[in-house]
Amino acid sequence: MKISAIIPAWGSTPLLERACAAVRAQTYSDMELIVAAPPADGPQTAIAARLAGLAKAAGEWIAFCDADDWIEPDAIKEMVAAAEREGADCVCCGMYRDGTDGKSVFRPFDREGPSDTYNALVNKIFRRELLEDLIVDASITLGEDLMVTAQAMRKAKKIAVLDRAFYHYCENATSVTHVQNGRKRVEDLARVGAILREAMPESGYDSFHDRVTRDALLLWIRYRLFDRALWRMLRARMKSGLLADPRHGLLKKGALCCAACLFD
């Protein structure tokens, strides 16, 4: 099966050639590499670039790599083998976090999410149709992976998980995640939450939704304690986002209301 590997890139990306070389060095041969920039007349975000690359992709399966990271030579071969062996629509593996100090830390794939390995697009391959007809806001720069991954994985009939890691996430102090201002971070996360509620309107409440609520509540408390100006600016939006989810039962909604009162 043909794999399209998409690398979003724009502006000055000094490590782009390393990422491209890692894709070209794959031991799986039926591949194409697409380096995609966001449309000139649209938001200049990673998700916009990925969508542009997806529109050009010829593969029936899609893989992603970021321009400052790299993948090991057998990554695609091993993931394709798992897809064929298990009849999966999506294959996930762990990740290595390569620090600026030269140390590399193995992170196994988290099956429940949200978390760094669950959220990421780059440690997975997807059957192409899983990435079609999703609700996507291309202006989002924080949480954009989760926005896509959660929807795509909910569409999958079978997900295969490898207990190995092939993807190297290289820590970079100038990345969007590190330099984004507080207000934009909160607004993006609130928008991602709204999109997931719309895209996955299940009546039940599973561990994934519990973690989303937990992370939102922790963010709420963090800004209340450490950034009062930002808190005052955003508290109404954050509070309504937590309390408006129709999947909350009476007990959970009551607990959140109590938490809201404590931080008003």
Residue 91 shares a structural domain with residue 139 = yes
Domain housing 131: 3-176
The predicted-structure confidence for 148-197, as pLDDT tens digits, reads as follows: 999 999 999 999 999 999 999 998 755 555 445 667 777 787 788 788 87
Each residue's pLDDT tens digit, 1-44: 999 999 998 765 778 999 999 999 999 999 999 999 998 888 88
Q: What does the pLDDT look like over 195-240, one tens digit per residue?
A: 887 887 664 446 666 766 777 777 777 777 777 776 677 677 666 6
In a domain, 190, yes or no: no
Same domain, 141 and 256: no
If asked whether residues 99 and 218 sit together in one domain, one would say: no
- Report pTM: 0.82
**188 within domain boundaries:** no
Question: In terms of domains, do 161 and 216 share one?
Answer: no
Question: CATH code at 54?
Answer: 3.90.550.10
Residues 49 and 95 in one domain: yes
Instruction: In whole angstroms, give the CA distance from residue 49 to residue 62.
Output: 14
8 Å CB contact between 9 and 36: yes
Which pairing describes strands 3-8 and 61-64: parallel, antiparallel, or unpaired?
parallel
